[in-house]
Amino acid sequence: MKVFLLMIACFVPMVALADGEAEYKYREGIMNSAKGHISSMGAILKGQVHMDNLQIHADGMVDVAGIMPDVFPAGSQTAKSEALDAVWDDAAAFKEAMDKFVSASNGMAAAAKTGEMGEIGPAIQALGGSCKGCHDDFRQEH
């Protein structure tokens, strides 16, 4: 019986680590998706190319933003993660930052629908600002 309990005790931390690693890898993919959408929107707007794809990327960012608040569960901090402990230690401030990101993403999608640069410009700036604000407070620089 003692051997069995010892085996379980050794296995449980490995399962927790595996779950944290899996959560981190998923979060990394979500972050790369957000980066891809915002980079593409920036390239579209700066170069005035593929304007017909702006809405696709804006809507994609809304989708990514909708799940972003859920990709930081407790126990998902790993040595590779750039997330600061503040994500979990100051959950209220992190939620506020995520809410700003979701709102800015929705604002960008709405602005893109208008096709009016007078609305799109401020919306993309607000979206970029929401990304920067979260990264400044909740992401370590490498």
Write out pLDDT tens, residues 63-99.
Answer: 999 999 999 999 899 999 999 999 999 999 999 999 9
- State the DSSP H helix or E strand holding residue 129, giving kind and residue range, or none if neither: helix 117-138
Residue 12, pLDDT above cutoff 50: no
Q: Which CATH number fits domain 2-138: 3.40.50.720, 3.40.50.2300, 3.40.50.300, 1.20.120.10?
A: 1.20.120.10
* CA 43 – CA 91 distance, rounded (Å): 33
pLDDT of residue 19: 80
Q: In this predicted structure, what is the pLDDT of residue 61? A: 98
Q: What are phi and psi of 139, to 5 degrees?
A: -135, 135
- CB contact at 8 A, 38 and 61: yes
* Res. 15 pLDDT band, cuts 50 70 90: very low
Distances from the Cα of 48 to the Cαs of 42, 55, 127, in angstroms?
10, 14, 19
Percent of the chain with pLDDT over 90: 82
Q: How far apart are the first and last CA of the chain?
A: 47
